[in-house]
Structures are given as C-alpha cells and as structure tokens.
Chains A and B, each alone.
Chain A
Amino acid sequence: MNALTPFDRPNSYIGRSVPRPNAKRLLAGRGRYVTDIVLPRMLHVAYVRSPYAHARIVSIDAQAAREMPGVRLVATGEDLAKLCTPWVGTMEHFKGMKSPPQLPLPIDKVVWSGQAVVAIVADTRALAEDAAEVVSIEFDELPAVIDIDAAREPGAALISPGLGSNLCFHGKIDTGGIDDVFAGAAYVVEEEFHFGRHTAVTLEPRAIIADYDASERQLTVHHATQTPYQFQDIYARHYGIPESRVRVIAPDIGGSFGMKLHMYHEDMAVVGLSMMLGRPVKYVADRIESFVSDIHARDHRVRARMAADADGNILAMDVEDVTGIGAFSAYPRTSVVEGNQVYRLMGAPYTFRNYRADLQVVFQNKVQMSQYRAVGHPIACTVTERLVDMIADKTAQDVFDIRSQNAIPDDGYPCTSPTGYQFEALSHHACLARLREMMDYDGLRAEQAELRIRGIHRGIGIATFVEITNPGPAFYGVGGARISSQDGAVIKITPTGDVHCLISVTELGQGTETIIGQIVAEHLGIDRDRIKVITGDTETTPYGGATYACRGAGIGGETALQAAKKLKANVLAVAAAILQDEPDRLDIHSGWIVDAATAQPRIELSEIARIAYFRSDTLPPGTQAQLSVTHHYAPQGYPFAFTNGVQACHLELDVETGLVKILKLWVVEDCGRVINPLLVDEQIRGGVVQGLGAAFFEECVYGDNGQLTNGSLADYLVPMAVEMPDIEIGHVETPTLDTQLGAKGVGEAGTAAASAAALNAINDAMKPFGSTVAQVPMTPARILKALGHI
C-alpha cells in the first residue's frame, strides 16, 4: 500500500490506493441497511405467491387472513390497480419490441411460479406469514411456456395473447455476403453454446420501506437500490404523486450488481400499501422469495460459426442467439439490452469485418430476466473466445498467437466494429503481452505437458474482452426511458473549511464516495479527510443517473472533477479579492491558498470561509463569495467508453470425477485512468468470482412445469472461499480523451471474461480425450458426460 508521504505533491490522490473512509462504519457493525431501518408505526408485508408458472386466477378468498391476529390489510391486484397505473418495459430504439402492461399484483392470471398475488400487511413479518398461510386462491392451471423453441412454434400457448406471439424482440445485423465468405473460407468452426440462467444473490436481499404521509402527500421510500432518481420518477408517475413529493433514500446497500435497479412488483406494491394504510410498510424479500422474484440473467442459446483463412486470420462470424426473458420485459430498462449487447459485442476485439447475427428474445413462464453485472459480455466473450480457440486448433496455432494475429492493432484506433460500436482507443496487444509475461505462459505449458504424462490434467484458457462503460444517452435515453446518463454534484465549503460533496452517483461498496473524495480533494487542493461525500438521497443530492453500467468513476468522477475546478475558481476569486492579488497567481494546497509560483502559504481556506460566511462586511464591495457550486456533466463525444483486457484461467480437472480445482486467474485490464488501484483491483476480483460462479456453479434450474427446482441458497450454488483462486491483476492505462479525468469503468471487466477463460481452460484440459464442452455452468455431470463417463 503506498501511503502518502510528505514528499508527494500535496493532495495528489488520483491514482493512489487509499482505503475507503466509509468502510469503517461497516466494519464496526454500524452500517445502516434498509433491512436495519425501523420507522415509527411501521408494518410488515408478506406475499401469497403463485405455485403455478401459468394459471388463471379464478378466485381469492382472504377472509380468514383478514381475521388473523395483527393483520392490518390484505390487498389484491385489483386494490392496487386503483392506485397504480400499469407499466410497459419497452424502449423505442428496439424496433418492434413488445411487452405486456404490468401491475403490482396480477388481476386475472399469474405468469410465473412464485409471482406475488396477495399482499398481507401485519404488525410483524411472522404474523403476516401466518395470515398468508390461510389465504386460499383458486387457480386454473394453463400450459406453461418454458422452452425457448416451443415458445416460438406456431400454435404455442401464448403468455400474452394480446401480443400475438411469444416473441418480445427480433433483431438482425448483417454486413452482407456472409454465406460467400464462409463458403470460401479455409476453416469454419461452429458450436452450439448454452448459458444457464443465474441470478445476483446479493447478500442483503431486496428491501424497501415506503412511508406515505397523506397530510402532505409526501412519499418517502427507503430503498436498497443503486438508482434512486429512477425510482423517484417511477413512483411519482405511476402513483400520481408530484415528483417534488417523492423522496427516495438509498442508504447502505448489501450488494446490488445491477439486480437492484429494476422495478419489482412487490416493491411497487409496497408503495401502494403504504398509501392505503398511511403508515410505513416494510418489505424484505427473504432468500426463498429472492430466488423467485429477483431478476435472473443470461439464459442464452447461441449457435455460432467462425470462418478463417488458411493462416488463421478470422474472416467472419455468423451468430444466432435465442434468449428467454420470462413473461415480460423488465421495467424500465427492458430485457432486450442483454441480447442486444450479446450480438453487438461478438468478435469485438478482432479485426474481421464480416458479421451476421440474429437475436430472438422470447417470453416464457419464468422469473423476469434483465440486466445483471456485465450484461451480455460473458456470452459474447465466451462464444467468440471459444471459436477463436477452435480456429487455433485447426491451424495448430498457439492461443496467444492467434489472438495477437487477429486483435485490432493498438495503433489502429479510432475504429468501428462491424456491429457499429465506435472504439476510441484499446490496447489488446499490450494487454496480451503483459498477461503472457505475468503468468509465465511458457512455463505453464511446459508443466502441463509434463503433468499430462503423469495423468494430471491441467488446462490453460485465455479470453480477450471488450467492455462497455460510461454509457451516454444512446443507452437508455434515446429509447424513451427516463434514465439519466448525466450526473450532478454540489460541492460546498463549510465555515471551517471542510467540504461537502453531494453527488448523484451512489455507493454500493465499490467505493464511489472514496474516489469522488479523491478527485475533489485533488482538484480543489485540500486533504482527503476534510471531505465528506454524500450520496443516495433524491432530496439532497442533484439529479443523475446514479450507478449502472460502469459509469460511477467515468461520468460521476468527471462531474466531481469539473465541479471541484469550478469551486476552486470561486475560492480563488474570493481569495484574490481578500489578498488583493490575481486569481491565476494563486493556488490551493492542503487547504491553504498559496502563491502559485512559490507554493508560499498566503491564507488558509478556513479563513476565507470564515470571512465569507461571518464577515462578508470585510470583503471588497461587490464581492459575493460563491463557496458552493452545482455542476452537471453529461458525456459527449463517443457514445460509450469501451475498455478492454484479457484474462487467463489455470485449473486442474479430475478427469475421473469431473471436479475442478481452479488454480489461478490472471487479469490484465485497461480501464483508462485508474483513480484508486486498491478499489479497481477489488472490483475486478469480485467480478471474476461472479464469472467463475457462472462458469462452474450457478444455475437456476427449472422443471418442465416451470418450477424453479433449486431456489434456495442451500441448493443454488454460489462461489465460496475454498473453491475460488487467488487472482493476479495487471493494468495497462489508456485514458479516454473524452474527459479531463480519463477514467472509464471497471465494474464488469472481471465478470465479462472469467467464464470464457474458464471454459477454454476446461476444453484445454480435456484436449487429450478429444472431449469438449460448450455449456456453462460446467458441472461435474456435464464434464463427465463430455468425457464419456456417463
């Protein structure tokens, strides 16, 4: 850890590993999560859920529940529909996309097993659960639409008959002449890939407390979410409450990863329940409910081909992706974004120009599918990187060599991918070279050969990736979604010369508040510990996009930087007036106004603040000190800031049992300017482990009737400490020139390629047996099947 030394330039925090000031509270058990919050007269809700994946609701008898001890309200879909307008999860830029309207609780039919049908509000959660047990609902079971192929067949049962089919969206990309390219290629490889559904499993489940005060028409929602402004907008619009009277507070949040930015029916219902009761109502999804109501992710079947010439130069890709998203498209971000990123990110690291892809997004009677960390990336990366390895096999090339040969040259930017993505500057070759050296690739290959003779089967897998970060309005705004791509900051100097920074990006443990503090401290010129960063409250922080799609550092950070510069100019103007000097001859170091040329201290910032706030009479006439600034920043220039990197996985496969020991993982990553290496590396590690979870363990398993068969933390396997490897990380820094800060995002890089590297490593380990696998998670059963043991 490189602690600050007196020899450093004052306040040079950007690029430094500094620990997170706000973590101390969490370490002392003093975090305040929504699950911890208790409001006066607060009630608790439990839901009666559908046991069927698809059924008509014939009748609901809740009389016995109403009479149970402690019950304050029993509400159905009809009750809530009187208060809440329906929502539709579509965006205009996905042409032709369809989705049915949704309500907090269903009125006439249920569309997935586990869907909440009746809400019971009682004095305690236990009493609400007691009452939920005595609600009787008569269902008329309908055929469940589960399989993505059967769902698209003519005559298939329709989940939303009004839409005419079970197809949510059909997209195509075609650069033309693909069939000819494949026909003329020296090598063609193809594979059918399966990506299991998995889910976020944040350690703190979803939690929300809605508190409606009818006397003021004020709704206050404590909501464990990463996007409070988005929910302020949604609650205001759908419940008809003026936006100024809706306050959403996101306190400490026990993990999110994209899962806590979608509209959930139970959460929406809680707002209505509080309005009906005029009391705070709390809902905490228990873990069993989480599995059947949190968004799931992935669930893709991809058939893909890759063509190469005789020298292993990749010529083209041809891709067909079918993805199942549940019974409707999620709101407000839709469930098409993942598929869209899958088919646009395919082949992104490479130079080939010929590309054809077909994307079908299909409704089915399962839990809704939508954005979760690294949206689409792992799928595009796995498909591409496996096919690249297959070409390497054909041409007898080394896996590093084929990538070096095909990756876009580091001096080949700016350029545009065949799918239309604009790359400002990436560094695949620098990353590959760095990785090769870091992992001692040649040494590992030699060891692998030697161990194979002794019956020990190790595998090495490489995966190059491109990540989408810093999205501009092209991501959601153009589609009509009221999701901001800009951020806002207010920075103010207190009378003692401390600084408050209120900013719209939110803290989820990734360290937003820390890096914002670093940036403001450096650009204002004060010590980091004099800054308090405040996030997560729509009533106090300026409007902004908050946290999604790796935008906190790049967009939020740039907002803070520009705001800090603006404030610094204001401070120097006042200082110049007091000191009878020119502002541009002054600077700020460690809370002192100094002579810019000599760094000689002139006056302390606290003294400026004291004068400005308490003795403005002593300021020169006409001077109005502006010691607070508000500043907004919206990304311009490139629609996204793409980042890149490469991962390697080293593992040992027990070829008799199908069990895998992951030995080590390496990541070389280029997220532009690194603001805090300590935090960046931990983002990557956490992301890698989520990717390895998907590669080996995590899968929401459904039976034919649409029942989730492993919906508990005992049955759904998450990655744990013993099975996870140490992860070594290297950096290449290619700052974006779109911003002064130069930072891009890093939150999804780890997840983007870990499963691809792992899949390539398993296939490498199985090579002596001629076996292959193209499905994640790679369970022992699937590996044993591939090896022909079962």
Chain B
Amino acid sequence: MKARAFSYARPSTVMEALEAFEGCGEDASYIAGGQSLVPALALRLQAPQLLIDIAHIDALRGVELQGDWLRIGALVRHCEVLSDPLIRQYAPLYSEAAPHVAHPAIRNKGTLGGSLSHADPASEFPAVTLALGAELEIANRQGTRRVAADDFFIDLFQTAIEPGELLVAIHVPVVRPGHRWAFHELARRRGDFALVGCGILAEFADDAVENIRIAFFSVGSTPLRARQVEKSLVGKRLDQAAIAAAQALVGDDLDPPDDEQVPPAMKRHLARVLLGRLLGQIARQGS
C-alpha cells in the first residue's frame, strides 16, 4: 500500500495554489488534512502527478463573525470545530456533530473544507452544512463565488467545486433566539461512518415550527434534505401526532443505495426512528 510517485508543491496563497493546479495540466490534487486523500493515494485509487498542499495558506484559516454570518475558513480542523467558542455559539450544530466525526487523531488533522469538498455522503459535516443553510465560498482564477449548500452537493463525492477550484470558506447564517437544533447519528461503533444520521435546524414562533431544515446523511449519494417532512411540519406544533406524521413521510425523501449489509428498508427504518427521536428532542427544548 504505497502511493504512486508524485511531485509536491506548497503554495502560500490561494492564487499560487490555483496556478500550480493549472500549471501541471490539471493532473493535480489539493491536499488539506489528507485524512481522506492519503488513504485513496495509498490504495492507488487516485494518483495525481502533483500534490498541492494548501495547509499553509493563511487565507483559508480562522473563524470570524461577519455581521449575521459566521465565516469558517476551509482549513479549520475538526478538532477546532469541536472546541471553537464562536462555532459553539453561532453554528452549534457543527459542534454537536464534531465528536461523531472519526476519532481524535483524525479530527486533529482533517479539515472542514476537506470534508465538504470530499463530500462523502456518509459524512456529518456536509449534512450539517445543508441543515444550517450555509454558503460555500469557492475561488478560481477569475475570483470567488458563493454557492448555497442546497446547490453544492451534486452527486457521490461530487460538489459544485469545479476542477482546480478551491473551497475557501464556509459562511453560516448565525443561529438566533427561537432557533432550536438537534443532531444525532446511529453508528455501529464510535467514530464509524453512520448507518444513518441527521441534523435539524428549526425556527419556532409561538411554539410552532416556522422554518425547519432537516438534513440526513448516509441515506443516498449526497446528504439529503427531507423536504416533504419539512413541509409537513411548517406551521405545526411538535406534538406526538405531528412527529408521527413526519416519520411516516421520511422514507420517501431518502434514496438509500442497494446494500445487502444495510438494506434500503433498514436505512429508512432507522431514519424514521432517528427523526422521531430528534424531533422529540427539539420539542422538549421548548419546555
């Protein structure tokens, strides 16, 4: 298990990185924390000619409150997501998901930007990003653009990031009073990719749901919003009947792949159970 040979570049600005990519005929990979990429290289599933190490680009770092938005640099590591006070205060769903992401040593190296760019449908952060309605700032040689999370995750390991582009930062609308949230996943062992997981951000008015975003992961080729469920809950109080009705709908929102070990029926069942538990949790936050 040794990677194929490659060259290595260590740019210190976004522009240098973008140029390095272009300069090698696009047969390059960016590497951030390397926690997903290195295994792929070791298994020779990927074999770029050039590895562009973006870990030393200062512009990709840091967590900062910018008005109603929290800007999280792409290089912010999972362990920082777990402990950062600004994230805990303004985008707490990330903090709650972070302990479920892999293991301590992987969290010490893996980056939020890497997780979102990699877009593993079983990953926690992409679903949380979706639930939070975040926007992703992407740089190319022409400049930067912001893509809504809803438009970001396109397919299995495929995002709105075009070849050669860099994810620079994640912009999260900050949580406000009246927001409630919950996150949980069902996994066979601590730190495993989940059988099914879900993050919910809801806005309440007079104890009724005004807005709700429910994002599941590990149930399809991308993180998925349970849109029918969301629709069914708007305007409702989260009582047992509403929760049960929502649970009945969730199967249709999901698209689990065929898998003998974890068959689609099981994923749907677990999603129903998880949804019930999380909505119950959110309901209790009101009291």
- Taking Cβ atoms with an 8 Å cutoff, the residues of A that contact B are 124-126, 129-130, 133, 286-288, 656-657, 659, 697, 701, 710, 714, 717, 720, 722-723, 779-781, 784, 789-790
Contact = CB atoms under 8 A, between A and B. Distances in A.
Interface of B is mostly: loop
Nearest to A133: B44
A779 B4 CA distance: 37
Contacts of A780: 188, 195, 266
Interface stretch (B51-59, B62-70, B135-143, B257-265): B257-265
B188 A717 contact: yes
Contacts of B5: 126, 130
Given A287-B1, A288-B1, A781-B261, A789 B189 contact: no
Given A722-B191, A790-B269, 4 more contacts: A133-B4, A287-B1, A288-B43, A789-B266
Contacts of B44: 129, 133
A288 B45 CA distance: 13
Nearest to A129: B2
Given A722-B190, A780-B195, A790-B263, A656 B273 contact: yes
A138 to B, nearest CB: 21
Contacts of B43: 288
B270 interface: yes
Interface in B239-287: 260-263, 265-266, 269-270, 273
Contacts of B190: 720, 722-723
A781 B1 contact: no
A790 B2 CA distance: 42
Contacts, number: 55
Contact of A723 (B186, B189, B273): B189
Contacts of B263: 781, 790
8 contacts: A126-B5, A129-B44, A697-B188, A701-B261, A714-B39, A720-B190, A781-B261, A781-B263
B189 A781 contact: no
A717 B3 CA distance: 24
Contact of A790 (B4, B260, B265): B265
A779 B188 CA distance: 9
**10 smallest A-B Cβ distances: which pairs?**
A126-B2, A722-B190, A286-B1, A790-B265, A656-B273, A790-B266, A129-B2, A789-B269, A720-B189, A781-B266
Nearest to A785: B266
Which interface residue of B43, B192, B265, B270 has the most chain A CB atoms within 10 A? B270
B2 A657 contact: no
A249 B261 CA distance: 42
A790 to B, nearest CB: 4
Contacts of A286: 1
Nearest to A127: B2
A146 to B, nearest CB: 14
Given A656-B273, A784-B266, A789-B269, A125 B186 contact: no
Contacts of B192: 717
B227 to A, nearest CB: 24
Contacts of B191: 722
Nearest to B2: A126
Contacts of A657: 186, 270, 273
A659 B187 CA distance: 8
Which interface residue of A659, A710, A714, A790 has the most chain B CB atoms within 10 A? A790
A784 B263 CA distance: 11
A722 B261 contact: no
A307 to B, nearest CB: 36
A784 B266 CA distance: 8
Contacts of B260: 701
A133 B4 CA distance: 10
A322 B118 CA distance: 44
A439 B147 CA distance: 58
Contacts of B266: 780-781, 784, 789-790
A267 to B, nearest CB: 18
Contacts of B195: 780
Nearest to B192: A717
Contacts of A697: 188-189
B273 A125 contact: no
A717 to B, nearest CB: 6
Nearest to A699: B261
A790 B268 CA distance: 9
B189 A722 contact: yes
Interface string B83-98: 0000000000000000
Contacts of B2: 124-126, 129
B56 to A, nearest CB: 26
Contact of A130 (B4, B39, B189): B4
A31 B273 CA distance: 48
A789 B269 CA distance: 7
Contact of A717 (B39, B189, B270, B273): B189
A125 B261 CA distance: 34
Interface in B164-195: 186, 188-192, 195
A539 to B, nearest CB: 33
A283 to B, nearest CB: 13
